[in-house]
């Protein structure tokens, strides 16, 4: 029997939401030591609309993770503001759900207990949290592994568990920091399609960092291309391909042409460094 659950932050497509779910407006950030100042971000601006999947791609070391730290309130910008639904949240922690590059699961907690942790912290009754976590794990193909510990799970299963933990957070915006970078190519492909299916079912607002152009185009509604440091947005690309998407999209001429366009833009940027 099909079961539906309500995920906090999921978007009702019929609801009117005039404000961006997330807006980075003119973000500038420098780091200083005794002798030098290094500007990492230079007036960077981007938006994520409610229910939108956005990705950032750019050269290594261009400041993508620094931007995430500013969005998450771990760092304050030298200039600019972070807004959510029109409200200034610059420097405020706990406003996003965050998934790091590594699963970062607690080894002493079972897979189920890792998934339901955000609901525990939000004060939800334990049994209700467990019921919702079990439903998500079943949907993610993790049924039967609820009581397994992280060190007994494959890399892909650990990433699924980490994503479900992020999905269980009550925050509307999810920030994914290269979530599949540590996986082998085949597992990464499987995880991309799994994430696409999970996201299309719930439509949380997502901002993802990736170095993988194909991944960005397959998953995203909009792709932001960042410059070298000090980073700004070079290009905003509205991804034109209809949803739902499948692996067949990767071989279509229009997809390959857009992938090549972005690749050429990034190569030109790297030549400047």
What does the mean pLDDT of the chain come to? Answer: 86
Residue 27 has pLDDT above 50, yes or no: yes
Query: Pairing between strand 173-177 and 37-48?
Result: unpaired
Residue 254 has pLDDT above 60, yes or no: yes
pLDDT band for position 8 (cuts 50, 70, 90): very low
Provide CATH code, domain 19-93+204-273. Answer: 3.40.50.300
CA separation, residue 154 to residues 61, 113, 144, 157, 164 (Å): 29, 17, 14, 5, 15
Q: For residues 273 and 103, which has the higher predicted lDDT (pLDDT)?
A: 103
Query: Pairing between strand 173-177 and 222-226?
Result: unpaired
**Percent of the chain's residues with pLDDT above 90:** 49
Residue 152 has pLDDT above 60, yes or no: yes
Q: For residues 41 and 5, which has the higher predicted lDDT (pLDDT)?
A: 41
Give the phi and the psi of residue 125 in degrees, each rounded to 5.
-55, 140
The gap from C-alpha 174 to its chain's centroid, in whole angstroms, comes to: 5
> For 27, how many CA atoms within 13 A lie in the half-sphere containing its CB?
31
Residue ranges per structural domain of the chain = 19-93+204-273
Single out the residue of 107, 113, 210 nearest to residue 164, CA to CA.
113
Task: Examine residue 230 and say whether the peptide bond preceding it is cis (omega within 30 degrees of 0).
Answer: yes
For range 64-90, the mean pLDDT: 93
Cβ–Cβ contacts within 10 Å for residue 157, how many? Answer: 19
CA separation, residue 118 to residues 21, 164, 221 (Å): 21, 10, 27
> For 112, how many CA atoms within 13 A lie in the half-sphere containing its CB?
17
Residue 17 has pLDDT above 50, yes or no: no
Distance CA 42, CA 30 (A): 9
pLDDT band for position 15 (cuts 50, 70, 90): very low
pLDDT band for position 174 (cuts 50, 70, 90): very high
Is 139:125 a contact under the CB 8 Å cutoff?
Answer: no
């Amino acid at each position: 029997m099909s079961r539906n659950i309500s995920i906090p932050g999921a978007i009702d497509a019929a609801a009117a939401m005039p404000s961006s779910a997330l807006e980075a407006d003119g973000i500038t950030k420098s780091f200083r030591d005794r002798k030098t100042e290094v500007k990492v971000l230079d007036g960077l601006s981007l938006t994520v609309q409610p229910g939108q999947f956005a990705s950032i791609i750019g050269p290594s070391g261009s400041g993508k993770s620094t931007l995430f730290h500013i969005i998450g309130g771990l760092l304050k910008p030298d200039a600019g503001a972070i807004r959510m639904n029109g409200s200034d949240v610059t420097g405020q922690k706990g406003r996003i759900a965050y998934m790091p590059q590594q699963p970062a699961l607690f080894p002493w907690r079972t897979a189920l207990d890792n998934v339901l942790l955000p609901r525990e912290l939000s004060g939800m009754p334990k049994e209700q949290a467990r019921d919702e976590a079990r439903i998500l794990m079943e949907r993610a193909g993790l049924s039967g592994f609820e009581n397994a510990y992280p060190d007994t799970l494959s890399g892909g299963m650990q990433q699924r568990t980490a994503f479900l933990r992020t999905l269980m957070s009550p925050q509307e915006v999810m920030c994914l920091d290269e979530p599949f970078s540590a996986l082998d190519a085949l597992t990464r492909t499987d995880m991309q399609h799994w994430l696409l299916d999970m996201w299309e079912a719930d439509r949380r607002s997502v901002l993802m960092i990736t170095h993988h152009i194909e991944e960005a185009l397959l998953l995203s509604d909009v792709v932001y291309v960042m410059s070298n440091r000090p980073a700004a947005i070079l290009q905003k690309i509205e991804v034109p391909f209809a949803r739902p998407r499948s692996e067949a999209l990767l071989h279509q001429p229009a997809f390959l042409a857009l992938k090549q366009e972005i690749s050429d833009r990034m190569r030109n940027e790297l030549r400047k460094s």
